Structures are given as structure tokens and as C-alpha cells.
Chain A
Amino acid sequence: MGLTRTLSIRALTLITVLILVVFFIVIILGATGTSDKILQAMVNEEVMMLRQSLAKTIKDPQELEKVIEIRKQGLMEFYGLTKPWYVRLPDMAWRVLTLDLGKARTLKTFAGGNKVSDIVMERLTNTIILVTSATVISAIVGLVLGVRIATRVGGILDRISSYLSAISYAIPTWWIGIILILVFAFLLRLFPFGGLYSTPPPSDFYMKLLDILWHAALPVATLVIASVGVWIYTTRTIVLNTAQEDFVNAARAKGLPEELVRRRYIMRVAAPPILTNVILGLATSISGAILTETVFNWPGLGRLFYDAVLVMDEVVVIALTYIFTLVYVVARFLLEVLYVILDPRVRY
């Protein structure tokens, strides 16, 4: 099995997952009558616009009503509202897949538009920035500390890290965020309470960048604190197990320098299983991002999710559920590509 073949099978599996999730969403929407409500809102919107434009040309109110009624029937037909929900399942699924969900009820883009796809897409970058930087920092700290601890097993640092990783399993990420706000924003006044940048944002480019970094400090710290313990502990355990293998001893016996043994013999083998853990933890970091963004009012997808639930904006909730699955699937695929590169065995 070649590299392309392996990867395309993974891609296909993940796409199937995505499509199944979309169908699952749509079935729930159909069965609860929510999809009727959404389509009806789209029809009403168009009828209203039609009325405005027709009112200029057709002066007789009775005739106007008649024309509009006919057009409304046509629209109902077009959107499939005359058919039961299970008949228009594929159509509705396509709508979700292409984010063609009409207009949000109350939520708006930063510029003031209310098209669902625009609202969702403009926030995607902010989420990716937050999650990626937090993951990269956790990974670096976790790998460096984990490898170091693995060489001194049973030491104080080792014991602290194993307790910390057990405790971090029991601490809600969002509560860490709240505590950081309480301490660093409220008590010490060192960092802002939330948001992406100050109002008004600094005009100078570098100043603006600094401003964003200042605002990102606490949310990123929250995500790092929540995940770094697990990173350290996993790295330590896997590196430790690998270091006890015979081939490592053989390499040492040959008299290879310790640095070389560590890099080529231990890390090369330990990297794929560490990555597996990252892949498994991906769903957790997405959840962490939703809650952390909420706490810090970070204008990403997670905060949007909270706002949409708060104001009961159904279409946005649907779009976000789909987008989060999409982001998850894409991120997972990228990690698996990395996995295949790191571990040649999977290719065959």
C-alpha cells in the first residue's frame, strides 16, 4: 500500500464521518420540526422583499396579494416545504454542507451583515490562531519537559508531573480561565478581561499585533495549563518505555553519544505514539477552545456558539456544529499525514 493509498483511505473515512454527522444533524432537525421553521423563515424573508419591490409596480392591493400568494406557493414548492421532512433530507444536508442557511436572527458579522456563512467564516481564523498557538506551546513545553523527566525517573519533578497530570484531568479548562481572569485581570490588573483587542484598536501595525498578543495571553495560558500536564506525562511514559528497549541499550553499548541515542533511537520511535495521543486529544482541545473563548469573550467560533445558544439563533448553532466537525476532521487528517511521515511502517 503506497502513501497516497493510505492517506486517501483515511481521507475517505473522515469524509464519511463528516457526511454522516451532517445527515445526523439534518435528521434531528427534521424530526423536531426545526428545519421547517428555518425554511419557512427563508420563504418569509423572500416574500417580504418581493412585496417591497412589487408594491412599486402593482398598485391594486388585491391583485398584489394574489400575485404574492402565487409566488409564495412557488417558493414553498422550491424549498420543499410542501413535502415531508424526510423527502428533502438530501437537500437540507446540502444546505448545511455549503452553509446555505440563510440569515441569522440576531447575530451579526463584525461589519454588520447577517448571512450565516459570513458570520461563521470570519471567526474561524480567530479560533485557529488561539488553538494552534496553545497547542504549539503545550507541545514544545511538554516534549522538552517530558524527555527531561524521562531521564530522571522517580525524581521530584517526575512525581510532581504525574500528580499534576492526574489533577489536570479533573480540572475544567474554563474554570482555570475564570480563575486567571479573577487573579490577573481583576486583582492584579495585568491583563484585559477579554476580547481580541482594545477599543479602539491601535492604528500602528506593530502596536496592534502587541495588543492582540496581550489579549491572547490569558486564553492561551488557560489552554496550555489545561493540556500541558497530559503532554508531559504522555511524553515521559512513552520515552521511558522506548528507552528501556534492547535496541537502545545496543546503541549505547556501541558507544554512540547520548545525544545521538536520544535523538535517533529514542525520539524517532517515540514520536508516532506521542502523536497518536495528540490525535486522540484533539476533540478535547476543541471543547477546551469553545469554553475558553466563551470565558474570555474571544471572538472565535466557540464564543459565537455560546452567543448563538444564548439568543437561540438556531441556524448559527447548526452551522457551528457542522463547522466544528469540519475543523476537527481537517485537523485530524493533517495530523494523520504527519503520522504517516513520522512512522514509515504505516505506509506498507
Chain B
Amino acid sequence: MSERFKEALQEFWRLNVSKIGVAFLTILVILSIYVIATYPLDFGVRYWNNPVYWADYPKSAPPSWINYFSHEKIPEHHVFSSDKPSNTSVTESGKRLMYLFKLDFQADRTPTFLSLSIKNVTYYGKPAMIRLNVTRPDGKNIELYRYTVPAPYGDESPPYRRFYDQPKRISLTGDMSVASTLARFLLREYNVTVKPSEVNSIGQHTVIFSVPKNNTQFNVLKGGYVFYIIVDTYDPRDTIGEVKLVVGGDVYGFMGTDSLGRDLSVGLLFGFPIALFIGVVTSTITTLLGAGLGIVGGYVGGKLDEVIQRTADFVNNIPLLPLLIFLAFILGQNIWIIVFLLIVFGWPTLTIIVRSMVLQLKSGQFIEAAIAIGAPRWWIMFRHIFPQVAPFVFAQLIFFTPTFILLEAALSFLGLGDPTMPTWGQILEYGFRSGGIYVGLWWWIIPPGLLIIWTAITFVLIALGMEPVVNPRLRRMK
């Protein structure tokens, strides 16, 4: 047995398609393991389908690498966040926490906005004071903003907790105090007179990231910017959960964002384990069920066989997708229901083939011998018949996997995917339904499709590699 297996493996490994297939599968598995290890289980509900989480991201932004291909460099969107200060120093009144964010800005346009968020603030005595400073590439320093955490209410007792439910988000763009600061800065440093209301309409972010030519024209200032967020606390027990600085841009990350601002690379990555799970689990159960029914029907025969054959015939004779849509629609959109339905409709093809194989094996001498020494029926089916059909069944398992991946994607695309688990099909569905294809948001439409195809092709390649092993007649061809 093991000798035979070794031989089969060698035969399989001889083909290039097998090698490519196995290499692809390895990558898929590694990515899936990475996702399972790092993503929370409720990723879909808590992050992906939660618009609040994506509020700070640019909407429908292409991936940042398009800058390599375009003449004008578009500003990249940056989200800096930190839950630990870069350094802590002791002052006479308490502790000073400093958060440092460095940005190398090389775009030809200024950022689109600037915002600061603070989360989970706890203090015991005096409320903490937060300041935001920036040092520009030309060495000029601006104190942009000052903010004091709300003081205790009348009947509140320490510790005072602030911004635990909802982070405090300060948009520097549109803020009048920032506008006045910047107007003073322009007058002092460049002797340019601009009214705060004019700064507001030019955009605070534009003024910060540029050098004025006159009071209407501003030239982008490229180079390294350093943002300092300084928090003065007045009690050693005071803590800050997280600070976040967003420098708005029109391109984002490696895969871009969708129209809700969701980082597509995060969603697409999550699709790997789901696609593999649906494909492999559904295929495994389906082939085992199909083969089992085929073996039992073929070997036992009689009424049982008749029932199995009629049922298989019936299921095989109905158009799959319309009924799947109907059932997913009536029974609800849940990943387990979808897997269950795929199994229910998937087994007959294999049952019919395996049954005909078993009918041939049944009359073999080794079966007769087993019967003669009094082996029970289940033993014969399990130990003598199953090993004979196993290679074929295993090849079918691989061969069926892409079918199920594509079917799930199709259901998702029709809006019947499990909303708690984002899949590639669902990402495409939203891109289609919200009109992404009509305005050419290619980074939203092409990658999920390519990933579906890639995953499906992986299994097709492995199935191709297994063909000569399972079907020895083909061995001559190579």
C-alpha cells in the first residue's frame, strides 16, 4: 500500500502542473493561517461592515503604487496610530507623554485633510491637556492645536473615563482655531496676510503642507514632516488608550479602498480562509457522502440501491443555481446553510460513477475470497472496495473544490452571501451594486475576481496533475 502510494506520488510530482498547483496551494494555506492567527473571528461584523471603523479612510481611493506609473504624484493616505507614547518625561506638574509620527511627503499635491483622534482617556486629578505640533521640512515649527479633555461632571468620582465608547475626533481641516494659528504663522514667517476665514477655504491642510507664493497661491513643500502629539498628565495613574493622526490622501495602501473607505487589502486577505474553507470542507463532505452512497448502493443493491439511484437521478436533473438562490433566499444567508446546500446538491454525480465502479469490483475474486472467509459486509466495503476507488474519489475531491468556490462566489455576487463573513464574491457584489464598474474602479473589481480564479486554478492544476495517476492510460502521453 505505502509502496503504491509512493509510486503515485512520484508520478504526480513528475508533471509541472502538479508542482505549480502545490506551490499555489502552499501560498493559499500560508495566507489563510496568517489570517486565522491575526484576524478576530467577528471581523465581518466588528470591522468590515462597520462604517464607523472606516471613517478615517479615503473613499474609492486607488492603490498607492499607481504613483509609479503616473506623472503627477498623488498624495498617499496615511493613518498613524499608536497606543504607546514614543517617550515619556517627568515634568514638575506630572508626566508628559509624547507621540511622534514621521511622514516623508513627496506628492505633487497637498493632502486632502488632517484629523486627530484620541481614544480611552483615564485621569484622576486634573484633566489631561493635548497639543499637536508639526515640524516641517524647512525646519519651521507650528503648534497647531490645543485640547483639554472634558473636566469631571458634578457628581463624578475618579477615575474619570473619557472617549471609551466613541473616540474623540478632531478635524483640523475646517477648524477655525487652527485657521487663526495658521494665519498668524503665515504673517510671521512669510509676511503674507491671509484672513483665518480665507485659510479655512484654502484648507488648513494645504497651508501646513506648502509654502505661500502670495496670499492665494501655495506651493507644495516636499520632504520630511514630524508630527508631535504631546499629552500633559497630572497624575501618575493617568492613561491614554490610543492617539491617531490621519493625513488624508487620494491613494491608499497596496489594494486601494472601496466606496465606503474600506481597505480592500484587509477584506481580500480575509477571503482566503473562507474560500479555502468553503471549497475544501464542502468538497470533502460531498465526495465522502457521494462515494459512500455509491459504494453502499452498488454493493448492497436491492431496494436501497434503487432509492439512492432515483434520488441521485432526481437531484442530478434539476438546475442547481435557481434552486440554490431560492433556498438561500428563503432559509437565510448563513455560511453553514450555504455549505449544507452545496453538499445536498453536490453528491449525486460521484455516487453514479462510484456505483458503476463498485458493480465491476463486486465480482472480483478478492471480494469472493473475503465473503468466503466470512467477512461482514461493512468490512468488505470499507477494507476491500473503498481502497480500490479511493484514488479516484480523492481526485474528484480536488476536482470538485473549484466548483464549490465558484458557486459560493456566484451566490455572494447575487447578494446571498453571509453578511457576517466578507468573501471575494461579496466584495465584487458591493462593487457591482454600488456602481463601481460603471465609473471604472478597477482596483475594486479586478483583484477579487483574480483571487477567485487563482484559488480555483490551484485546484484545477492539482487535479490535472493527478489525472495520470488515477487514470493510468494517460501515462503514455507524457
Contacts and interface: CB of A to CB of B under 8 A. Distances in A.
A32 B325 CA distance: 16
A25 interface: yes
Contacts of A143: none
Nearest to B452: A172
Interface stretch (B203-211, B230-238, B366-374, B438-446): B438-446
A140 B307 CA distance: 40
Nearest to A317: B329
Contacts of A182: 437, 440, 442, 445-446
A290 B324 CA distance: 12
Given A172-B452, A174-B410, A186-B440, A318 B326 contact: yes
Contacts of B439: 186
Contacts of B323: 21, 321, 325
B322 A178 contact: no
A295 B432 contact: yes
B317 interface: yes
B331 interface: yes
A321 B460 contact: no
B320 A283 contact: yes
Most buried by B among A14, A186, A314: A186
Contact of A32 (B331, B409, B449): B331
Interface string B309-351: 0000110011111110111011100000000000000000000
Contact of B322 (A17, A305, A314, A332): A305
B416 interface: yes
A310 interface: yes
A175 B437 contact: no
Contacts of B414: 290-291, 294, 305-306, 309
Given A25-B326, A170-B402, A309 B416 contact: yes
A17 B326 contact: no
Interface in A161-203: 166-167, 169-172, 174-175, 178-179, 181-182, 186-187, 193
Interface string A285-303: 0110011001100000000
Interface size class of B (residues with CB under 8 A): 35 or more
A203 B89 CA distance: 81
B453 interface: yes
B428 interface: yes
A320 interface: yes
A20 B314 contact: yes
Contacts of B461: 166
A29 B323 CA distance: 13
Given A14-B317, A286-B321, A179 B410 contact: no
B322 A321 contact: yes
B413 interface: yes
A309 B329 CA distance: 7
Interface string B405-430: 01001100111100000000000100
Contacts of B322: 286-287, 290, 305, 320-321, 324-325
Contact of A306 (B327, B330, B415, B460): B415
A290 B402 contact: no
A34 interface: yes
B98 interface: no
A325 B449 contact: no
Contacts of B459: 170
B343 to A, nearest CB: 16
A50 interface: no
Contacts of B460: 166-167, 169-170
B464 interface: yes
B415 A172 contact: no
B456 interface: yes
Given A178-B432, A317-B326, A17 B449 contact: no
A283 B319 contact: yes
Contacts, number: 127
A193 B440 CA distance: 11
B457 A167 contact: yes
A160 interface: no
A28 interface: yes
Contacts of A187: 440
A142 to B, nearest CB: 20
B320 A287 contact: yes
A302 to B, nearest CB: 9
A317 B324 CA distance: 11
Interface string B434-478: 000111101001100100110011011100100000000000000
Given A169-B460, A178-B449, A306-B415, A328 B319 contact: yes
Given A306-B415, A321-B322, A179 B438 contact: no
Contacts of A314: 329-330
A170 B428 contact: no
Nearest to B318: A21
A328 B437 CA distance: 31
A170 to B, nearest CB: 3
A129 B452 CA distance: 29
B270 to A, nearest CB: 19
Given A34-B330, A178-B437, A169 B410 contact: no
Contacts of B433: 310
B319 A181 contact: no
Contacts of B416: 309
A178 B440 CA distance: 10
A317 B410 CA distance: 17
Contacts of A295: 432
A291 B457 contact: no
A172 B321 CA distance: 13
A186 B440 CA distance: 6
A17 B314 contact: yes
A297 to B, nearest CB: 10
B453 A32 contact: no
A291 B437 contact: no
Contacts of A20: 314
B317 A169 contact: no
Contact of B318 (A178, A306, A325): A325
24 contacts: A20-B314, A21-B318, A25-B326, A166-B460, A169-B456, A170-B456, A170-B457, A170-B460, A171-B456, A172-B449, A174-B410, A174-B413, A179-B446, A179-B449, A186-B437, A186-B439, A286-B319, A291-B414, A295-B432, A305-B414, A321-B326, A324-B322, A325-B319, A332-B317
Interface of A: 13-14, 17, 20-21, 25, 28-29, 32, 34, 166-167, 169-172, 174-175, 178-179, 181-182, 186-187, 193, 282-283, 286-287, 290-291, 294-295, 305-306, 309-310, 314, 317-318, 320-321, 324-325, 328, 332
Interface of B: 313-314, 317-323, 325-327, 329-331, 402, 406, 409-410, 413-416, 428, 432-433, 437-440, 442, 445-446, 449, 452-453, 456-457, 459-461, 464
Given A182-B445, A287-B320, 12 more contacts: A17-B318, A167-B457, A167-B460, A169-B402, A172-B452, A175-B449, A294-B413, A306-B415, A314-B329, A317-B326, A325-B319, A332-B317
In the complex, the 5 A-B pairs of residues with the closest C-beta atoms, listed nearest first: A170-B456, A287-B321, A324-B322, A175-B449, A321-B326
